[in-house]
Amino acid sequence: MYDERLPGLRRRGFLAATSGAAALALVGCSGGTDDQAQSTSGTPKRGGRLRAAFAGGGASETLDPHLANLFADVARAKALYDKLADYGADLSAQPRLAEKWEPNKTLDRWQVTLRQATFHDGRPVTARDVLYSYRRIADPEQAFRAKASLEPVDLDASRATGERTVEFVLKRPTAEFPNVLAAFGAYIVPENATGTDFDKKPVGSGPFRFVSFAPGRSAVFRRNDDYWEGAPHLDEIEFVVANEESARVNALLGGQIEYAHELNPTTARAHEAGGQIEIVRLRNSAMQAFCMKTDRAPFDDKRVREAFFLIADRQELLDGALSGAGEVGNDLFGKGYEYYAAGLPQREQDLDRARALLKKAGAENLRVTLDTSAVAAGFTEAAGIFRDQAAKAGVTIDVKVGSKDSYWSDILDNGTLCCYRSGAMPIEAHLSQRLLTDSTTNATKWRHKDFDALYQQAQSTRDKTERAAVYERMQRRLYTEGGFLIWGFADWIIGTTKRVKGVETKAPANTLDWARFDKVWLA
């Protein structure tokens, strides 16, 4: 029962993106097609109260946006607060509270100009609020999630150069600095807002104002008529917490809520044709992978890694572990995102070549332990399927099921092979967090000086096309001999009642338009 909550997901800042990003850009320009029927049918109507159900954190929940950890936290945080930037559907940073940004020649000083916006108490959003918020996140005494993302910024040297301009001084050239501004949990709060304020009377600059909050139960917000991007259509939004997936579905079918986040593929299939509710699939949201530790036997031999790439029947994994709700992967993170190396050929199962490679590597009759856990949907199923696929290539896999509450910490340094998943984040963030020598969560133990150098080169390259070429080189290397066997990208599934209009269908979890309620309206 508890698995349904996907603790791994709820605990993490979940970033997900769609493969249809490029398509979206085109669709967006041409002004809507069938795909976006939901968001374009009819004129938005003002008024009404929408109730949205999420899996939540129980009695420990907080409205402190910097402590956001779960989907429900983020959905509430983005209703009350803004970030300087946020991710578009292709995971590129889009300006939000920041009106524009301009780097110096060496890319280590950035001038950020804020737009004219006010907090809910009428005070303007100023450069001082921005610096206060970032310094609060980076407080060495605390462990806020966004702290790691803000690491490139030298906050002592950064300063306000005007009421609405900030000069950020960076520790090193960072071409993707806008990604930092869009980082998970990097919300702007008013200067001097402290811990206790957030749960009693949170003041932000977001599209909704605070009304009430009962941790683990419900949060009610109402329209902010002065929102800088235009007032929301809804009068009120209520976030309710229902951890059990079946409870969210039942509440939706019974008309107790209008929006249910995170449904199972089987639920989606059952109701897609039923016509009682609308199913929204946020495509290619969560990366699904097996993670090979490249610093230890047997995966320190790149022929063994390649053999494993060839063992995987990706379609079978997708159908079996995710009930087909997703798309196959090509051993690269970020399908459809900005800088994704889409030109590489799709890898297919090739057991003969896998066997030959294993033989060459002297790894016949190989025996490996695959760590998995019920921490995320489809993990244990994927492990079982892969075990059977590997058996066909003469590899014996022992599946070991571990604790779901400590899974991510357990697999970081231990074992050789494990199930892995990740929400959407920019490809650059995936590289820096997981694939550099000093990365904090380098689960594949991918440590190569030349690879680090390429990353630095990309970050010092001002021209976007040149930068893309460097990213392509890095991805090509990972495709050939990396430690991530990325077999699929899961859909993120949302259910709404027929009355709900304006739900963005091309918005991976944790991008700007995901769980965004200021553009939603009730017919």
Partner 1 sequence: MTTQLGGSAAKGRGAVSKCGSAAGRDQPRRRSTRKTAYRDTASGRSFVARRLLLGGAQTLAVVLLVFALTEALPGDAAVALAGDQPDPARIAAIREAMDLDRPAPERLADWAAGMLHGDFGTSLTSGRPVTQYITDAFGPTLLLAALTLALLVPLGFGLGVLAARHEGRLVDRLVSSVTLAVYAVPEFALGVLLVTVLALKLAWLPPTAVGYGTELLGHPAALVLPVLVLLARPVCSLSRLVRAGMVDALASPYAAHARRYGVPGARVRYAHALPNALAPAVQQLARTVDWLLCGVIVVEALFVIPGLGTVLLNAVAERDVPVVQGLAVVFGVLTVLLNLGADLVAYRLTPRAGVAA
Residues binding partner 1 (CB under 8 A): 1-2, 7-8, 11-13, 51, 53, 57-62, 69, 140-143, 145, 147-148, 195, 214-218, 238, 240-244, 246-248, 250-251, 253-254, 256-257, 402-403, 405-410, 412, 421-422, 440-441
What gap in Å lies between CA 9 and CA 1, rounded to an integer?
16
Give the separation between CA 412 and CA 344, rounded to whole angstroms: 29
Cβ 421 to partner 1 shortest distance, Å: 8
Nearer Cβ to partner 1 (166/429): 429
Q: In residues, how long is the chain?
A: 523
- Residue 172 CB, shortest distance to partner 1, in Å, is 19
Tell me how far, at minimum, the Cβ of 222 lies from partner 1, in Å.
Answer: 16
Q: Which is nearer to partner 1, 217 or 360 (CB)?
A: 217
Of 188 and 251, which has the nearer Cβ to partner 1?
251
Which ranges of 148-241 would DSSP assign to H, the alpha helix? 177-181, 195-200
Structure-block tokens of residue 391: 């058996």
DSSP state of 98: E
* Helices 245-253, 265-272: inter-axial angle, 10-degree rounding: 20
Taking the least distance from each CB to partner 1, the nearer of 68 and 341 is 68
Q: Which is nearer to partner 1, 38 or 256 (CB)?
A: 256
- Minimum separation from the CB atom of position 67 to partner 1 (A): 9
Q: Which is nearer to partner 1, 151 or 472 (CB)?
A: 151
- State which residue, 148 or 361, has the beta carbon closest to partner 1: 148
Alpha-carbon span 334 to 337, nearest angstrom: 5
Cα separation, 501 vs 45, in Å, equals: 9
- Least separation in angstroms between CB 137 and partner 1: 13
Cα distances (angstroms) measured from residue 42 to each of 1, 380, 518: 40, 44, 17
- In whole angstroms, the minimum distance from the beta carbon of 326 to partner 1 comes to 19
Contacts of 54 (CB under 8 A, 6+ apart): 70, 71, 72, 75, 239, 240, 241, 242, 261, 262, 515
Q: Which is nearer to partner 1, 78 or 248 (CB)?
A: 248
The distance of closest approach from Cβ of residue 242 to partner 1 in the complex, given in angstroms and rounded to an integer, is 4
What gap in Å lies between CA 222 and CA 211, rounded to an integer?
A: 7
Closest distance to partner 1 from the beta carbon of 52 (Å): 10
Q: How far apart, in whole angstroms, are the C-alpha atoms of residue 410 and residue 375? A: 12
Question: Taking a C-beta distance cutoff of 8 angstroms, is the pair 257, 467 a contact?
Answer: no
Q: For strand 500-501 and strand 521-522, is the pairing parallel, antiparallel, or unpaired?
A: antiparallel
